[in-house]
Chain A
Amino acid sequence: MIVIVANRWDQTPKAIVSRWGEHNVGVVTASDLSLAGWLQHSNGADQGTAVIGRKLVPQEEITGVLTLLPCVFEEELVEIAPEDRSYVAAEMTAFLLFWLSRLQSQCLVLNRPTPSCLSGPCWRREKWIHAAAQAGIPVQPLRRHAALPVSAEEEATPSSATVTVVGKCIFGEVEDDLQRQARRLADMVGVELLAVRFSGPERGASFVSADSLPDFSDDGLADAVLAYLRDGPAKCA
């Protein structure tokens, strides 16, 4: 079973599941974490049990994971008493970090969770810019400012071209040079799924930002992710 971890209000998993129709796919949301059946034992005596789409699933049946949420938001927890939602959201996020990290030893997890984000490095824009600069990619410096009275922060440089990295595959109608830059950044950061935005598709365009949660409206991306999870990182759809 391929598992998608998502926000309960997000419609993206539904579209992906439909696209991956013939495959065994389940979706985990915060509402599954409020159902009896989760079992995770530290000593590894058993593989553990998950609740996926309201059904109990032995953990060994999970063959791949796509994570589409950075954390559990308290707004999702409508079954929980309002005064407890903030605490429960933190507990569920902490649990998912542990569970997803543990799953890495048995299957591919896209993206690997980081302590500050379940779907990989969800960095501030300035950290991506600094990392891109360290990777030798041309960047426009970003200026951030906080003062009273509050004024709008600097407008982001508009991006007009996106390159998406999925394992060894790269998508995007841009010059090869930009594709290589996107690959270099993903490799340096150690991330397998990454959308990299540039100021334009032409050679010499500058890096604008990156996101470990790409836009899945492109069916080609969903197909590439399926191929990655099914066949391994070396192959492209």
Chain B
Amino acid sequence: MRVSGAGNILLWGLPADPPIMAVRDALQRAGRRVTLLDQQTVADTEVQLVVGPTVEGRVRVKEETFDLAAVNAAYLRPYDAREFPEVARAGQDSELWQHALALQDILLSWADLTPALVLNRPSHMAVNGSKPYQASWIESHGFRIPDTLITTDPDAALEFWRQHDRVIYKSVSGIRSIVSRLTARHLQRFDNIASCPTQFQQYVPGTEYRVHVVGEEIFACTVVSEADDYRYSTEPVDMQACDLPDEVAARSRTLAAAMNLFLAGLDLRCTPEGEWYCFEVNPSPAFTCFEQRTRQPIAEAVARLLACGANGSGLASAKKYAPQPEFRCAK
């Protein structure tokens, strides 16, 4: 059995996941030692975590073992282990299923407790689990948010639609949903609104921007698409690298930092009147599709940030315990 210090930088996810691949390649080009913990090797992976005043542990994959305490920086892109074909086939009552869940839970726990720089800690990513909750954060850091109604009242939703003329609806939770514009064909389903709080937003016209914040670095691009939600567009989507006004760039950095996110993808829109709206902050952005089209070196920046953490530059000092007591949702 070989025991290593993990090369100080740990990547956890799937080797074929484009952001993981891009960051691993960038780290290797920079001559950094990197350990990729492949989630697919779940049956061959063992983990041990010991938590007291310190956080220690080790991970063994087949004959290779590494020390979790020696990891100084980590980039996480884990998928739900229950969805892996091998685990799903084994079924809920299988030992493999139980093991996969335990493994995932222990590593997530480590990621929340380690003093290493983690992009991003699971507890900090959780803000993205509620869009209106996150919107309150966004608004409190100077961005505009669209007029929003969350309701179980079909009549109130109709009135909101009349008031704004163009309205979109989307999930309240972090579950990925296609942002859609309300049309007459939705009217027949309006009574379903009473079953569950549903989120409606005024449509905000303007130029769409995707902004990736990587530590202190900012990568912005415009996104031009005819679709309500460009992520699902069947038509061509045009992306062009661009600079943000200094104040907007600073606001983006501040917002990501306030959320303790060292890596974040912000969806912004600038109206013809020059007002900047922020719709969402993604704490685990799949940045490679933007990088490929804009040639912006985002993976290089992520690798630099991880290397910085591995060198012990103190970037990991994000609050681990305090639940941001100063924060209050805007009324």
For B174-205 the 0/1 string (1 means CB < 8 A from A) is 11000000000000000001111100000000
Interface of A is mostly: mixed
A-binding segment of B44-52, B211-219, B243-251, B295-303: B44-52
Judging by beta carbons under 8 Å apart, are B174 and A94 in contact? yes
Judging by beta carbons under 8 Å apart, are A91 and B126 in contact? no
Does A37 belong to the interface (CB within 8 Å)? yes
Residues of B within 8 A of A35 (CB): 152, 194
Judging by beta carbons under 8 Å apart, are A97 and B328 in contact? no
Does B292 belong to the interface (CB within 8 Å)? no
Closest to A32 in B: B152
Residues of A within 8 A of B131 (CB): 94
Residues of B within 8 A of A36 (CB): 152-154, 193-194
For B86-126 the 0/1 string (1 means CB < 8 A from A) is 00000000011011001101100100110000000001001
For B126-144 the 0/1 string (1 means CB < 8 A from A) is 1101111101100000000
A116 to B323, CA, bound (A): 11
From the candidates B43, B49, B129, B329, name the one contacting A148 in the complex (CB within 8 A): B43
Does A92 belong to the interface (CB within 8 Å)? yes
Does A146 belong to the interface (CB within 8 Å)? yes
Judging by beta carbons under 8 Å apart, are A146 and B99 in contact? yes
Does A41 belong to the interface (CB within 8 Å)? yes
Judging by beta carbons under 8 Å apart, are B175 and A144 in contact? no
Judging by beta carbons under 8 Å apart, are A98 and B133 in contact? yes
From the candidates B48, B126, B320, name the one contacting A115 in the complex (CB within 8 A): B126
Judging by beta carbons under 8 Å apart, are B150 and A146 in contact? no
Q: A98-B150, A112-B323 are in contact. Are A105 and B329 (CB under 8 A)?
A: yes
Judging by beta carbons under 8 Å apart, are B323 and A189 in contact? yes
Closest to B201 in A: A42
Does B242 belong to the interface (CB within 8 Å)? no
For A141-178 the 0/1 string (1 means CB < 8 A from B) is 11111111110010000000000000000000000000
A189 to B147, CA, bound (A): 34
Residue picked from A90, A146, A190, A191, most chain B C-beta under 10 Å? A146
Q: A91-B172, A98-B329, A145-B48 are in contact. Are A39 and B156 (CB under 8 A)?
A: yes
Q: Which residues of B contact A (CB under 8 A)?
A: 43, 46-53, 55, 95-96, 98-99, 102-103, 105-106, 109, 112-113, 123, 126-127, 129-133, 135-136, 145-154, 156, 171-175, 193-197, 320-323, 325, 328-331
Q: Which 10 A-B pairs have the closest CB atoms?
A: A141-B52, A94-B173, A115-B126, A94-B130, A42-B148, A146-B102, A147-B46, A126-B51, A133-B53, A98-B132
5 CB-based A-B contacts, threshold 8 Å = A44-B331, A88-B195, A92-B196, A95-B197, A115-B127
